[in-house]
Amino acid sequence: MGLFLLLGLFAVCVAIGVPVAFALGVAAIAAFWFEGLPLMIGFQRIISGINVFSLMAIPFFIFAGELMFRGGIAKRLVNFASAAVGSIRGGLGIVNVFSSMLFGGISGSAVADISALGSILMPVMKEKGYDADYAVNVTVTSSIAGIIIPPSHNMIIFAIAAGGGISISKLFLAGVVPGVLMCVCLAVAAYIIAVRRGYSAEKFPGWTELALSFVGAIPGLFTAVIIVGGVLSGIFTVTESGAFGAIYAFLVTLVVYRSITWENFKIAVVQSVRTTSMVMILIACAGAFAYMLTFYQVPARTVTLMTGLTENPILILLMINVVLLVLGMIMDMAALILICTPIFLPVASSLGMDPIQFGIMIMVNLGLGLCTPPVGTCLFVGCAVGKLPMEKAVRTIWPFYLAILVAMMMITFIPAISLTLPRLLGV
């Protein structure tokens, strides 16, 4: 009965429009009260949910991403991507994917990716004869590269949700190859659609222009090198690398590019505080909710249920992916990481799946949820930036969904894609 109260009250709160973070907290406290547990323990679980040193990296990563978004780094990355791959048939679609791979790997934010790159590339693509739905769909689906390619604050959330025993450095490294793989799949889809629609190719600007655009992009690209390289080399902890990355991003936009204004800096600070507050409240309340899930033995029961339905590991992993895909359509990604990781990670581990591989799988899966209706944040933002009704975008976005699903299945069933790089570098 207590479990029904926990899940039912949470579902009702979400259905009537209560923010997910507060819905988690209300449901958890109600379950504590129903079971006769001291409410003080519930509030202690909420506080202890954010009393984790690694979480200090999240505001730094968010602030660094905001500075790069407001500071003009995206424009230089687009120039480099355009010079490198723009001459391919339908090249601006591939430029879009390539730019997302570069910028997403720096900012770590899918929404920032869409806002920054979409505002630059979508008008250009329309001017060059690309359909609006194509421009929006490429931008929206490729934006989730920022979630997979490090640094990513969602990986830190996953590490915490998994019990804190997972190396964030390994997660960062494990996301590189899957992120590139997903972008390659999206680039192939973008190329095929461009050929079918008869989009033209851009003229190759020449090796000199390519070299100059690369040099211009180096200071921005070096942000990711500092953050990830500092962690992997042992020079920085994850938190220290986030702080140094934020300082470096500020200096690059202020001194090197000279593109950050005082107004944009204030906006970056305000947005960073707002986003960080939302994330931290969510993590805090999810801590108490996850405690009650464990109290009701939901992870153990889920393992028993799924293995009782079938002993085929392929079918069980497919079931997990389907459940995550459905939930990703109706709930926020960070909340789902915090709720679903304690439930499904034991199931995956019982099948012999490495927790690092499971982490990357869940990132790709829930990232796709950001691009799907009815609650796809990236889809809403992309349609708003591209001035396109969402129903028109959804009609033609399915080839890009298919490309992400192909990459996700490969990541799910081929461990080497996620695990080879961490093992080679001995992290």
Rounded to 10 deg, the angle between the 238-251 and 207-233 helix axes is: 150
Confidence band, pLDDT 50/70/90 cuts, at residue 420: very high
pLDDT at 427: 60
pLDDT in tens, 398-410: 999 999 999 999 9
- The secondary structure of residue 149, as a DSSP letter, is S
- Which of 22-36, 70-84, 153-167, 358-372 is least confident? 70-84
Q: Which amino acid is at 186?
A: L
> Could you give the CA distance from residue 415 to residue 403 in angstroms, rounded to a whole number?
19
Residue 173 has pLDDT above 70, yes or no: yes
Average pLDDT taken over every residue of the chain: 84
Q: Is 227 in contact with 153 (CB distance < 8 Å)?
A: no
Contacts of 254 (CB under 8 A, 6+ apart): 71, 260
pLDDT at 106: 65
Residue 375 has pLDDT above 70, yes or no: no
Confidence band, pLDDT 50/70/90 cuts, at residue 357: very high
Q: For residue 201, what are the β-bridge partners?
A: 89
Q: Is 37 in contact with 296 (CB distance < 8 Å)?
A: no
pLDDT at 102: 77
Torsion, Cα of 168, 105, 379, 411 (10° steps): -60
pLDDT in tens, 177-196: 999 999 999 999 999 998 88
Q: Which amino acid is at 218?
A: I
pLDDT, mean of residues 395-399: 91
| Of residues 411, 289, 278, the one with CA closest to residue 338 | 289
pLDDT, mean of residues 17-37: 86
pLDDT in tens, 126-164: 877 888 899 899 988 988 888 888 878 888 889 888 877
> Could you give the CA distance from residue 181 to residue 206 in angstroms, rounded to a whole number?
27
pLDDT at 105: 63
- Which of 1-15, 111-125, 322-336 is least confident? 111-125
pLDDT at 20: 79
pLDDT, mean of residues 161-172: 83
pLDDT in tens, 186-236: 999 999 998 888 887 777 777 888 888 888 888 877 877 777 777 777 777
Burial-class residue 47 by CB neighbours within 10 Å (0-12, 13-18, 19+). exposed
Averaging pLDDT over each range in 19-28, 62-71, 93-102, 352-361, which range is the top one? 352-361
pTM of this structure: 0.84
pLDDT at 398: 92
pLDDT at 355: 93
When comparing pLDDT for 74 and 276, which is higher?
A: 276
Q: Which domain holds residue 218?
A: 2-424
pLDDT at 11: 85
pLDDT in tens, 47-106: 877 777 777 888 888 888 788 777 777 778 777 877 877 777 777 788 888 888 877 666
pLDDT at 418: 94
Q: Report helix, strand or coil for 199.
A: coil
Kindly state the helix (H) or strand (E) to which residue 408 belongs, with its residue range: helix 398-413
Q: How many domains, the chain?
A: 1
> Could you give the CA distance from residue 414 to residue 357 in angstroms, rounded to a whole number?
9
DSSP 338-406: HHHHHHHHHHHHHTT--HHHHHHHHHHHHHHHTTSSSS-HHHHHHHHHHT--HHHHHHH-HHHHHHHHH
- Which of 108-112, 236-240, 254-258, 367-371 is least confident? 108-112
Percent of the chain at pLDDT > 70 equals 97
